[in-house]
Amino acid sequence: MKELSQQEWKEKMENDEKSVILDVRTEEEVEEGYIPNSKNIDIYKGQEFIDEVEKLDKSKHYYIYCRSGKRSSQACSLLDQMGFSETYNLKGGFSEWQGESETK
């Protein structure tokens, strides 16, 4: 896992052909706004989170965020342990996100 600043995360993700954006927040948080093209898997769902993550392509590069950066850091560690090749945590999370965002 690499901790990246908002700018580093955005630039690296945009120039990475293998990038997948993973949002590990709750459904309620996602309804308040999210980064376009992100896949939401709520880390609070425990085993269900693990089961969903198991279905992901381990050769892709995962750019992971939550509200503040703590849950996404846990998710990065978990994915690393599960054999994913590259994970990147968004420092400061969505609450500090300056890039494009959408709402449902």
Residue 104's pLDDT is 77
Residues of the chain with pLDDT under 70: none
Length of the chain: 104
| Catalytic site includes residue 76 | no
Residue 32's pLDDT is 94
Closest by CA position to 1, among listed 95, 78, 97, 96: 78
Domain-wise residue ranges, the chain: 2-96
Residue 27's pLDDT is 96
Among 66, 75, 79, 90, the active-site one is 66
Packed helices 47-54 and 70-81: angle between N→C axes, nearest 10 degrees: 60
Residue 26's pLDDT is 98
Cα separation, 19 vs 103, in Å, equals: 21
Domain 2-96 - what CATH class?
Answer: alpha beta
Cα separation, 1 vs 101, in Å, equals: 24
For the chain, state the CA radius of gyration: 12
Neighbours of 81 (CB within 10 A): 8
